[in-house]
Amino acid sequence: CAHSKPLKISTCVLIAIKDNGLDMRNDMAIEFEIDSAPMLASFLLKVQEEAFLRIPLAQINNPYCWIAMIPSPKLDDQGIRVDSNSDITAALSNFDINVARIKLNATCVECTSPGMETLAETWST
pLDDT of residue 42: 94
Cβ count near 83 (within 10 Å): 8
CA 61, CA 42: separation in Å to the nearest integer?
17
pLDDT of residue 5: 80
pLDDT of residue 10: 94
pLDDT of residue 22: 84
CB 43 within 8 A of CB 91: yes
Q: Which amino acid is at 123?
A: W
- Dihedral sign from CA coordinates of 36, 42, 48, 51: positive
CA 9, CA 14: separation in Å to the nearest integer?
17
Burial class (CB in 10 A: 0-12, 13-18, 19+), 122: exposed
pLDDT of residue 28: 93
Per-residue pLDDT of the chain (125 residues; tens, 9 = 90+): 556 788 899 999 999 988 888 888 999 999 999 888 888 999 888 888 898 999 899 999 999 998 889 888 888 898 888 877 677 888 888 999 888 888 999 999 999 988 888 888 888 86
CB 117 within 8 A of CB 111: yes
The 3-state secondary structure of 11-34, one letter per residue = EEEEEEEEECCEEEEEEEEEEEEE
0.85 surpassed by pTM? no
pLDDT of residue 125: 64
Q: Which amino acid is at 16?
A: A
